[in-house]
């Protein structure tokens, strides 16, 4: 997701974080979306990369390099200077802090997916930190690395990997079980398990380059419709800028069950002022808070409890359990929000005109570069649709449908729902 507090980027240039929203009646003017401000942002990015390329690497300058990593990722900036910064950072890797190592691997995965295979293939043989080992593994596999060889390396280097949520998640990818055939989607959409709850389903492709949709199931088990009688939906991207798996920090939105915790307005200018949906993963907070039920005070969050939130056919599904494992691995602050990011960064990407985040569910918004005002917003449509309903025991369920190489088709989902169930 795009962190609400820039948790990993305290050094990010202050002038951006100091921008505030000008609110007049219902119109919100966001200075950062103005054409002139977007030009300044690009110039600032170029300047940071230029300066960093001539800066030595030491503990005192790691933050400057991480700023350059992040800006290059956000804008998908690839040039000789960016590549040189990454090369120098790999040379420095053996004495770098853990946070720097993680940020470097993320930047390399995002920007240069096949340029560091030989280097990482050597590094992984001595890597002892689970998350870094997993990131290296995914880098190598995407570049054609042998999954069986990496799985053997996992077993030899981490004898108790099965008890580690990161390494056990990695094993699911290496063995192919993460993408094993799931139960029929209609069973998850129509189950009686959620009767009396409001459920927001975010339906995505395994290939997150293709946007998904979000739909709303009401507490009476019917689905929200437009005035036209068609299924209500909004477009939603569940892809992070890195496209790393959902159990990795700043990876894609993990599949599975999230607890809805109300709504908020972000002060983060990359998210923007449109109301967002707050959610938490298992283990991110107390079991009582996740379940929105005082009866769970002091109780441990278990696989059995998570399974109780699923229809029987979906229990223990590797795909739907990703949120459970991601929360146990420490992922947090994943919300459903809008965006003020300059969409022109991504004009050559399959997900255009959507903007990726750092792992949140991101709905497209269009802002005027002349006035700074909102023109259209899928996020606003979602929040307007929810405002009449009680969210106190609502769930958000992120689920993947089949692996067609195209955006999720709302008509296809509507046919599944209408197959044997009326909608409202």
Per residue in 291-328, pLDDT (tens digit) is 999 999 999 999 999 999 999 999 999 999 999 999 99
**Does 18 have pLDDT greater than 50?**
no
How far apart are alpha carbons 198 and 387 in whole angstroms? 12
Distance of CA 13 to the CA centre of its chain: 23
How far apart are alpha carbons 72 and 110 in whole angstroms? 9
**Does 369 have pLDDT greater than 70?**
yes
Any residues with CB less than 8 A from the CB of 314 and at least 6 apart, and which?
182, 183, 187, 188, 320
Give the pLDDT of residue 20: 38
Q: Which two tokens stand for residue 45?
A: 């990015």
What's the whole-number average pLDDT of the chain? Answer: 93
Extract long-range pairs of 7-12: CB within 8 Å, 24+ residues apart.
7/333, 8/66, 8/99, 8/103, 8/249, 8/250, 9/66, 9/67, 9/70, 10/63, 11/63, 11/64, 11/66, 11/67, 12/67, 12/70
- Each residue's pLDDT tens digit, 113-144: 999 999 999 999 999 999 999 999 999 999 99
**Does 8 have pLDDT greater than 60?**
no
Tell me the percentage of the chain whose pLDDT exceeds 70.
92
**Does 9 have pLDDT greater than 60?**
no
Q: Are 182 and 317 in contact (CB under 8 A)?
A: yes
Domain spans of the chain, in order of start: 30-179, 185-418
The pTM score is 0.92
- Each residue's pLDDT tens digit, 49-80: 999 999 999 999 999 999 999 999 999 999 99
């Amino acid at each position: 997701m795009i962190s609400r507090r820039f948790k990993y980027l305290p050094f990010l240039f202050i002038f951006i974080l100091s921008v505030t929203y000008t609110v007049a009646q219902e119109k919100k003017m966001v200075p950062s979306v103005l054409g002139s401000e977007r030009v300044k942002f690009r110039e600032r990015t170029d300047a940071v990369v230029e300066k960093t390329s001539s800066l030595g690497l030491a503990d005192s300058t790691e933050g400057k390099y991480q700023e350059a990593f992040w800006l290059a990722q956000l804008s998908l900036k690839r040039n000789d200077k960016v590549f040189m910064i990454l090369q120098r950072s790999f040379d420095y890797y053996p004495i770098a802090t853990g946070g720097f190592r993680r940020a470097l691997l993320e930047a390399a995965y995002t920007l240069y997916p096949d340029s560091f295979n030989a280097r990482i293939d050597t590094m992984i043989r001595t890597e002892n930190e689970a998350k870094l080992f997993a990131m290296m593994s995914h880098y190598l596999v995407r570049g054609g690395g042998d999954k069986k060889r990496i799985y053997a390396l996992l077993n030899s280097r981490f004898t108790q990997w099965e008890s580690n949520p990161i390494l056990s998640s990695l094993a699911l990818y290496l063995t192919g079980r993460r993408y094993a055939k799931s139960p029929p989607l209609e069973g998850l959409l129509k189950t009686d398990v959620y009767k009396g709850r409001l459920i927001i389903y975010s339906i995505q492709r395994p290939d997150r380059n293709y946007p998904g949709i979000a739909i709303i199931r009401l507490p009476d088990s019917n689905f929200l419709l437009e005035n036209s009688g068609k299924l209500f939906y909004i477009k939603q991207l569940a892809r992070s800028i890195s496209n790393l798996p959902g159990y990795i920090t700043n990876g894609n939105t993990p599949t599975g069950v999230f607890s809805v915790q109300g709504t908020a307005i972000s002060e983060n200018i990359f998210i923007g002022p449109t109301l967002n949906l707050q959610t938490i993963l298992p283990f991110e907070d107390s079991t009582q808070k996740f379940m929105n039920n005082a009866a769970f005070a002091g109780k441990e969050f278990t696989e059995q409890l998570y399974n109780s939130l699923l229809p029987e056919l979906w229990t223990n599904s590797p795909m739907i359990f990703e949120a459970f494992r991601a929360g146990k691995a420490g992922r947090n602050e994943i919300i459903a929000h809008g965006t003020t990011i300059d969409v022109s960064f991504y004009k050559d990407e399959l997900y255009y005109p959507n903007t990726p985040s750092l792992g949140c569910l991101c709905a497209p918004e269009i802002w005027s570069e002349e006035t700074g005002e909102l023109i259209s917003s899928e996020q606003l449509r979602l929040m307007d649709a929810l405002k009449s309903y009680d969210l106190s025991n609502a769930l958000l369920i992120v689920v993947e449908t089949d692996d067609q190489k195209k955006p999720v088709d709302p008509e296809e989902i509507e046919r599944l729902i209408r197959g044997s169930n009326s909608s409202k």
